Chain A
């Protein structure tokens, strides 16, 4: 019954590989987000989708591409992985693109390690 679920929880891969992280929410929320948590634990938004439409696209390398097949899913594809991509990636969802205080829910994170 997890509200926002990310898979995998841990991902170890070699430089240069292409990988995907999946995110699904069963809350009926309209908006989904990807955040990267840096080594200092700060969360930085990467992308936001509202009803399958991209609404936020922060300055991230174009090796990162989000894909939203429907409003319950927002997957993150990363091409040509680099050492600096190692981080924890969080998916989140909210009731609308205003980020309703009561509807903002985070997944448990995916720890990506590039070796």
Chain B
């Protein structure tokens, strides 16, 4: 069974810092990997999606990488802002069956 792990569980940084969130998974036979942002009461917002054949995706200040063979993905956030405070989840898609990591709770201090 697929297991997804995210490190760290929580992170607190001052505004303006660049940061990296990590995600690892045990079964490399994935369809794609997604990074989500979770805000209380608002469900999930999909941030970046990397297909299994891709290595990297970028959107604004966010950059996600995928190394399928080693079962790792990272989410890089540049120049963090207080509005980035949320829980970040990675999820692997084993053909429409989503396995989520436990998330990294990010707090960006003004």
Q: Are B96 and A45 within 8 A (Cβ)?
A: no
By the criterion CB–CB under 8 Å, are B97 and A99 in contact? no
**Does A86 count as interface, using CB distance less than 8 angstroms?**
no
Q: Cβ of B38 < 8 Å from any Cβ of A?
A: yes
Taking CB atoms and an 8 Å cut-off, the chain A residues in 6-41 that contact chain B are: 33, 35, 40-41
Nearest 6 Cβ contacts at the A-B interface? A45-B43, A101-B103, A42-B46, A106-B98, A98-B40, A101-B102
> A-contacting residues of B (Cβ < 8 Å)?
32, 34, 36, 38, 40-46, 49, 51, 87, 89, 93, 96-98, 100, 102-103
Which A residues contact B (CB, under 8 angstroms)? 33, 35, 40-45, 48, 55-56, 88, 90, 92, 97-99, 101-102, 104, 106, 108-109
The answer to whether A42 and B100 touch across the interface, beta carbons within 8 angstroms, is: no
> CB-nearest residue of chain A relative to B31?
A41
B49 with A109: CB separation less than 8 A: no
Given A41-B49, A41-B93, 17 more contacts at CB 8 Å?
A33-B43, A35-B44, A41-B32, A41-B51, A43-B34, A43-B36, A43-B44, A45-B44, A56-B42, A56-B43, A88-B96, A98-B40, A99-B42, A102-B102, A104-B89, A104-B100, A108-B96
